[in-house]
Structure 1
Amino acid sequence: MFRRLSLRLRLSLLLGAVLALGLALGVGLLVLHAGARVRAEADGATRLARDLVEATLPRLDSAADPQAEIARLLADARRLRHVRVTLAGDEAPSKEDVDRTPQWFTRLVLPNAAVIRIETGRGAILIAPNPADEIAEIWQEIVWLAIGGAGIAVAAFGLVSLAVSRTLRPIATLAEGLQRLERGEHSMRVPADGSPEFVIIAERINALAATLQRLDDENRRLVRRMIHVQDEERKDIARDLHDEIGPFLFAVRAGVGALARHATAPGADPSRLAEDCARIDAQIAALQQVNRRILGRLRPAALEEMGLDDALQALAQGWREANPNVAIVLSLDGASGDLDHAVFGRSRPNTDNVIDSKSLERALREKPDSTFSQRALDEETALTAYRIVQEGLANALRHSGADLVEVTVTHANGALHIVVEDNGSGLDATRPSSSSGGLGLRGMSERVGALGGALTLGNNAQGGARLTASLPLRGAAGR
């Protein structure tokens, strides 16, 4: 049940319990020492009364009126506190005998003292302790202590409850802020009020809200970017279909029409029919190449057919054929654990192992299974790695003016590491990112980030551009 109480009520109850315990302890100590106080006062008063009576007895024999002397003695003795002095046979209760305290308390502290009897020859004088007034005084002290302690406890309870309420007031604001965050109101901020501890919590909540708001903005930007990329890809495909496939289809249709006319004409010339068929076949072959190029932009077929390393070599060879004056050095993490190098294009300085396309094809057929194939990269990681190299080569060959591009793909620490660098002019901050297949540097960075990787772009020590990326191998076994 105590766990269900609020923190304010818990603290207030704990404080009240401590104050009540302290008050009970104080009252208990007073009650514990009350008996000793009463006995000490009663014993002192009894001795004083006995000394007074014994000092007066010698004067009784010489007194003209002994009874009057005894009466004066009794009158003087009645002025003494905590003691009763009477003649034997005259033990009527006095006002001091009136019970002014609870009986249980009186019985608890009342001493068991014997009555002192002094014979005078004219009657006996009785001296008995009478601590009623002392007991009443002690009881009043206890009552006032209890009243004062209770008042202090109530005041402290109220003050502490008020202080705790004011101190814990920011909790409601913080809880409301968290609820608003849960509802998706990431633009909200909570006031940093109250004690330093609550100020720290409020600052953390505001930082969380700012981060969530930034992520919301980033998500909206990514959605807009995705829609834009999709639209651009559709435009590119539509343009290719219209500008490249359309003319080929028109040419094929025209060739078929010419073939039909020549075939049905009287005295048809077989050589002319063969020319028409060859022309149509050439148009279809060109159409197939355009179709493969468009499909390669959408999804590289070599990646599924040959694996990542062979697809990268085919990609490098394709760029080399389009840029014969640029050397492309491709270094892959080989099956032996060393880097396998392939150089495409003209020889760079200190590089003599240039191979042509026929040597490449023969090397691909004879080359053992690569480490990447053995690791069975998941489809998304392999495609992303391919796109990174594709984008890096496109940027280097189109914008940097480089005559040497080096591509390194290695595996270490459960991740695929990709480096594309050139010896060109380096980065130009005034030029926007290029786009390759609808995916520019920004889109590529977003794609890498979605896989839990990282991508950086900068200049190398020679001043050329350097693109680095790391992709976690989610479906691969570590080395």
Structure 2
Amino acid sequence: MWNWSNSDLKVRLTLRVAAVSTLCLAAISCYFLIDSEHTVRARVEAIAGVTARTLELQQSKIQWVNNPRSDFPDLDAVAASVMTSGLCLAFRTSEGDVRQRICSGAQSDTAAPPIAFAALYRRLFDPGREAVHPVTVSGNAIGEAVVWIDPAVLTAGAWHDAGRLMAAFAIALPLLCALVYAALARALRPTRLICDGLERIAANDLTARLPPFDLAELSAIRDVFNHLAESLATALADRNELTQKLISLQDEERRHLARELHDEFGQSLAAIRALAASARQTAAQDCPPLLAECDGIARTAAGMMETLRGALFRLRPPDVDELGLAASLEGLVAGWNVRSRGRPRFEIAISGTFERLASSISANLYRIVQEALTNAAKHAGATRVALRLEMRESDPQLSTPCEIALAIDDDGRPGDPPVKSGMGLLGMRERVAALGGRLSFEAGHGKGSSLRVLVPVAISQPVGAAAEYAA
């Protein structure tokens, strides 16, 4: 079934041209049929007038020569000059008697028109109507000259003329549609360039520009498109610069908060544990019932110190520049496995060498993984989280012949928009955008979600699968 709403513009316009042409043919056909009918009626009226005058002359001649035996009426003289296919001449007396009638036969090679066309033509034009002119002699009417054409002959002639017109239209219409389609295809060829440019913009290629066009309308689109691409490129550059500043500020705030917690709360908790140990020694000598309370204080302080260590680890991760990205991620995964006691189970697989990465790339990738693991463990309720990090080689002709592929899959709940689509994912997107990479997140209809990150990098020496890690 034809889907008109999604049809090709060239096809749609060509069909409209065909429809308009068909309507024009119908109008022209009607005009020619009406004009032909008027022409036939005028001709029949003229023949009737000539016949009436001829009969009047014949009657006057009879009276002048006083020859009552002369043949009257004599229509042969008129018929010899005016007779055509289907034409009939007659003289009808004042009493209504037809004294003479001459009719010519129809052409035998004329094809009979369709019944529907014949019925319509007779309904519209009433062919075969008589043209009547009185025959008068000395002011007295002695009869009438009657002329008509056989309706079947008129209908066949109209169908013949209409058939020739339709045959010419049947030949011209496909040719016209082909020419219109070709002209539209040529005129709309630049729209393919516009679609390609939009697809490049949608793929975050803001260097896309449209070339000049001949048509003024397409040139206006080109100007707006190029201005939009330039504006988007400028806005994206400004956003990336602001994002870098915000990320740096956020990391600095985290480091500052980690120092404050370590210096203040860490020392306070250490002091509490020392006081608890001292109080226990005193209680062991003087008041044994207080030993349980002292042990409880010590356990509480130890638990708080363990919680503080985890918070400090998240706020201030190990120095990625010193340990390297691979070792830092292995330590992060191992820490999660220890804290979660095997539920969920975190797995990691690293392929390639990452020692020569820039510190900004390593730090941002570490933060992305840290945020993703936190979401999977604390919010998605996952039982298994798999992390894969791979250094891939790409086309050496490119400015960045390598790219880092990061994949994180979990089997947790996929439908928690505030966590999965909120600031955590937004922060990861900003970090990836700052690195010039691409991020995609997919949540399955059942259970689980997938995070994919691709970051282009430039490394001076070839990259191979020199290191394989599994934890």
TM range (shorter): 0.3 to 0.5
TM value normalised by structure 2:
0.39
